[in-house]
Amino acid sequence: MNGGKVRIERIDAYRWRVPRHGGMRTDGLIFADAALMRDLEGDQALQQVANVAHLPGIVGPAIAMPDIHWGYGFPIGGVAAFDEDEGVVSPGGVGYDINCGVRLLATPLAIGDVRPRLRELVDGLYRTIPSGVGASRSDLRLERRDLERVLRDGARWVVARGYGSESDLDAIEANGTLPGADPDCVSDRAKSRGRDQLGTVGSGNHFIEVGYVAERYDTTVADRLGLEPGTVTVSIHSGSRGLGYQVCDDYLDTMLAAADKYGIALPDKQLCCAPIGSPEGARYWGAMNAAANYAFANRQLMAHYARQALRRVFGDDAADRTRLVYDVCHNIAKHETHEVAGRRRRLCVHRKGATRAFPPGHAELSPTFRDLGQPVLIPGDMGRYSYVLVGTEGAYRETFGSSCHGAGRRLSRHKAKQLARSRNIPKELEDQGIVVRAATRATVDEELPEAYKDVARVVEVVHAAGIGRKVAQLKPVGVVKG
């Protein structure tokens, strides 16, 4: 198969190789079935997989998940690991929205209880959690000292102020705080953008979604996670808002200069990077982790506000018994230990539009999940379904413990809006029993279901390839968009 300029070889039904050639230091490895690969014909994301394989210190293949699509530098759905001593860190391998991620709440309510008051609940979520471009909170503007604590402590700072409980921290990747955060590495401009955006969802593909457990594939794990048939859930998809965007933007010129300084040949300037141990790499690392902690705090605070909305509509008991299932990162780089060619090595694993999927028994998982594997939350589009999976040994062996993060776009935002121009997307969704609230029509139009791949196909590739195991399917009934 020829993916434009890039030659692709089929390995099996769910794996494809980009053979090493030219300046590539390793192969590319793409997880997809034949239909998903046909959709990628001529897509620049395939070239981006090959480009990532050029970077110094890369260990194993440059990996792409089945939700792969074009991104800045790395493809979205990209995973790459680098040797701690010889490798690099790249903002393009993390993304602009640092620690964009998903948080899943399980309520004690059944879908039959919620449907009669669904519109009231969605309206309550829309009023309680600010959304849209530049959304801010008038009730929470952080003083500089508090913001710096958020950047260091993440979700723990929010819980300490009464917005949630200690048990929430147990159900967040890295317990909601990444080490190595350095607020001094975050610019004043980035801090200014973050001061009044904590507890806001933002715009684009970010959302608050009310759903319910429609199917269960592993009843034992689903029961342990509190996902009984018909259970109503609330999903929160957001990240580090303007602060994280600014951190990425601030460091691009720094990393371009560093690549030149250290003699790193770049096949694409968007892959600008610095050696992990360099001063430039260390400063980006401190800023990236600080932004990631802001994102953890942001989702923690939004979960508190979601409980407030539930409280107003369904009472104290419903709100108090709403529990956090899990919270995952999608855009992050982390230092981890992995076995490579029979030897344990310390690596810097970039996951951009990819979810960590550690297997049962992994020491980094909290005791609550250690015998299950790490929960993997995969949102789809607002008209179909989302999925809960758990990590596997297969993922740990083959993808550095990584899985996909969503459906993946198949249409640009511009093309999606063109397709939606003559239609009433909110009315179409309402006819399916899905209530939508959004700041603007444009946001809904560019996020119409057809703009995304069918996440069921994406998840089936993950499950069949053994890099994740299906637990439950969630169907949406209410969506808040920016």
Q: Tell me the per-residue pLDDT of 310-330, one tens digit each, with 9 for 90 and over.
A: 999 999 999 999 999 999 999
Whether residue 262 lies inside any domain: the answer is no
> What is the secondary structure of 325-384 as a DSSP string?
EEEEESEEEEEEEEEETTEEEEEEEEEESEEE-PPTT-TTS-TTTTTT--EEEE---TTS
Structure confidence by residue, pLDDT tens digits, 129-165: 988 888 888 688 899 999 999 999 999 999 999 999 9
**What's the whole-model pTM score?**
0.97
Whether residue 361 lies inside any domain: the answer is no
Q: Grade residue 1 by pLDDT with cuts at 50, 70 and 90.
A: low
Q: Which two tokens stand for residue 327?
A: 């919270």
Average confidence score pLDDT of the chain = 96
Q: Which of 350, 405, 414, 463 is catalytic?
A: 405
Residues 323 and 339 in one domain: no
- The mean per-residue pLDDT over the stretch 294-308 comes to 98
Residue 2 has pLDDT above 70, yes or no: no
Please report, rounded to a whole number, the percentage of residues in the chain having pLDDT higher than 70: 99
Q: Which is more confident, 440 or 52? A: 52
Q: Grade residue 444 by pLDDT with cuts at 50, 70 and 90.
A: very high
Residues 473 and 425 in one domain: yes
Residues 460 and 410 in one domain: yes
Could you tell me which of 49, 423, 434 has the C-alpha nearest to residue 207?
434
405 is catalytic: yes
Q: Which is more confident, 336 or 205? A: 336
Residues 65 and 118 in one domain: no
Residue 289 has pLDDT above 80, yes or no: yes
Confidence at residue 4, expressed as pLDDT on a 0 to 100 scale: 54
Whether residue 367 lies inside any domain: the answer is no
Whether residue 83 lies inside any domain: the answer is yes
Could you tell me which of 425, 448, 380 has the C-alpha nearest to residue 211?
380
Confidence at residue 138, expressed as pLDDT on a 0 to 100 scale: 66
Residue 117 has pLDDT above 90, yes or no: yes
Residues 301 and 433 in one domain: yes
Whether residue 191 lies inside any domain: the answer is yes
Confidence at residue 134, expressed as pLDDT on a 0 to 100 scale: 82
**Do the beta carbons of residue 383 and residue 434 sit within 8 Å?**
yes
Confidence at residue 38, expressed as pLDDT on a 0 to 100 scale: 94
Residues 405 and 299 in one domain: yes
Whether residue 362 lies inside any domain: the answer is no
- The mean per-residue pLDDT over the stretch 403-407 comes to 97
Whether residue 159 lies inside any domain: the answer is yes
Could you tell me which of 78, 76, 89 has the C-alpha nearest to residue 29?
78
Enclosing domain of residue 166: 102-254+267-327+374-481
- The SS3 of residue 133 is coil
Residues 57 and 199 in one domain: no
Residue 50 has pLDDT above 60, yes or no: yes
Residues 344 and 412 in one domain: no
**Do the beta carbons of residue 374 and residue 102 sit within 8 Å?**
no
Residues 211 and 276 in one domain: yes
Residues 162 and 274 in one domain: yes
Residues 197 and 55 in one domain: no
CA distance 176 to 154: 6
Could you tell me the CATH number of the domain that includes residue 287? Answer: 3.90.1860.10
Whether residue 260 lies inside any domain: the answer is no
Confidence at residue 177, expressed as pLDDT on a 0 to 100 scale: 98
Residues 40 and 123 in one domain: no
Tell me how many domains the chain contains. Answer: 2
> What is the secondary structure of 245-302 as a DSSP string?
HHHHHHHHHHHHHHHHHTT---SSGGG--EETTSHHHHHHHHHHHHHHHHHHHHHHHH
